[in-house]
Structure 1
Amino acid sequence: MAGNLARVTFCLRKLAWERSLKISSGKGSKGIPVLELPADQEGVFLERPNRFLALVDGDGKTLAVHVHDPGRLPDVLIPGNRVLLKYRPGPKRKTAWDLLAGWAANHWVFAHSGYHRPLSEAILTKLGKDLFPGLKDYLPEPKINTSRLDYLFEMEKGPKVYVEIKGCTWAKGETALFPDAPTSRGQRHLSLLADLKRKGFRSLLWVLCFRKEASCFRPAQEIDPTFARLFEEAQAQGVELKISKLCYDGQKIYFQGEIPPCAG
């Protein structure tokens, strides 16, 4: 019985994915442009002294660059690899540069989690009613006890939807994977989404996948088995899943449709 239910669920998700591909068809090979974000400089990654700092060779000068993504970025931050930077000086900043993207699998992998909010809002503005049928309005950063999620969707009918966003920057072959480092924060968010579902709300994990080559997504059990277990439990309890594939060309971020969870 459980196996039949899993197959039905996978087929329904695949149909939703195929529908999303129709949304992006006819808009050019890159997809639908959703956010303009031009890089200011290309450089060569040298090393990552700590979680939030990278050293990059920019035209012969060593630049201190802020890394906003807390993950390991294992196939992006490789010494000698090409990276894209954004110039963001400020009186309260320790560095004048942000890491935007790195080169992997023959394309730029966007890797700045600080842009998840403006990017997701741009997607909602341009494609919200297509991606989320019945969407009426949305509230950023709803507070639940001592925690916050990314959005609360108000729907035209039915219960409201609590939404948490995760950015996926890692892939093996055509399989997109999250996380690329253990994430206690991600674990808490999954538990919260499952708890909200049990209380009668709808809840949704929205994955922004920045791997152009990916054809499906799965939790990285080999990196964070607890997150993977909570992910499967949340899915079994009815937490919804949306995986949007996006690509970055150094100037704009494009929506390329949806990909399904990996079968099996």
Structure 2
Amino acid sequence: MKINIEGNKIIGIFLRRVNRFIAEVNINNQLEIAHVANTGRMKELLTTGAKVILREINEPHRKTKYDLLMVYKEDILVSIDSKLPNSLLQRAFIEKAVPYFEDFNHVKREVTFGNSKFDFSLSNEKESALIEAKCVTLVKENKIASFPDAPTERGRRHILELIEAKKQGFRAAVFFIVQRADSRLFTPNEEMDKAFAEAVALAKTEGVEFYGYSCDVTIDSIALKERLKIIF
């Protein structure tokens, strides 16, 4: 399952992050600013001197001419675009390429349940499912991917709302999409956010489903690679 990443790509050097949305980069020895397509911390990736992939944007209303899409961690290309997991999963659900979800015929984006908005609802004649997708960029030692890389009360709330959805008769699932190829396992990042990890553990006992996938990433495409074992 692959989607293309469109646009004119440019190689640059990461200099510093100004705020959650803006970074300074060096492109052909010129200082430029770029939009960061992910509000996570990514401190292990966005380090001074890191090689990055940017997309040139020629739109008059934009404050920045570039989107920061990817970063090299040594020889591993990591996609940081937080929108791509949703695009990947939407294509996969529509084309019935996700095991255990082939029976759903209707796919809808951004659905409100309780006090949260979820990425997908799936439905068929017999049942409905609520799906949340999480963008993962952090891989620790021993090729263990982990989420989150910063405390996330919003993420914890999503998990608890999925427990309630399950109690009301929905199927409920979370997909952790690791946007790099070097992960072999996934685990919630208890060191960073114990409350989130505890919510995941509770949701698991209540029947919420959890899936992790690594990705093959190139400058021009991203594809689901393999399902990861999850350590709760």
TM-score tier by shorter-chain length is: over 0.9
Query: What is the 5 A alignment of 1:118-137?
Result: 118-128=87-97, 130=99, 132-137=101-106
The structure where helix makes up a greater share of residues is 1
Q: CA deviation at 1:127?
A: 4.5
Matching residue of 2:131: 163
Cα gap change, 1:229 to 1:156, in 2 (>3 Å): same
Letter in 2 for 1:166: K
User: 2:180 & 2:54 partners in 1: Cα distance?
Assistant: 19
Distance 1:106 1:131 in 2: 34
> Within 5 Å, which residues of 2 pair with 1:192-231?
192-231=161-200
Deviation, structure 1 residue 236? 1.1
Q: Name stretches of at least 5 consecutive residues in structure 2 with no aligned partner.
A: none
Tell me, yes or no, if structure 1 residue 234 matches structure 2 residue 203: yes
Q: 1:244 aligns with which of 197, 206, 213?
A: 213
- Between the aligned partners of 2:100 and 2:33, the Cα distance in structure 1 is 39
DSSP 3-state at the match of 1:189: helix
* Structure 1 unmatched runs, 5+: 1-31
Q: How far does the alpha carbon of each residue in 1:203-245 deviate from its partner, in whole angstroms, 9 at most, with x for none?
A: 0001111131111100101111111111111111110012121
Structure with the largest fraction of strand: 2
Which segments of structure 1 move beyond 6 Å, counting only runs of 4 or more? none
Between the two structures, name the one with larger relative contact order (CA 8 Å, sep ≥ 6): 1
- 1:179-202 CA-partner distances (Å, limit 9, x unpaired): 001111111111111111122211
In the alignment, is residue 78 of structure 1 matched against residue 84 of structure 2?
A: no
Q: TM-score, normalised by structure 1?
A: 0.82
CA distance in 2, matches of 1:105, 1:195: 42
**Matches of 1:129 and 1:234, distance apart in 2:** 21
State the percentage of identical aligned residues: 28
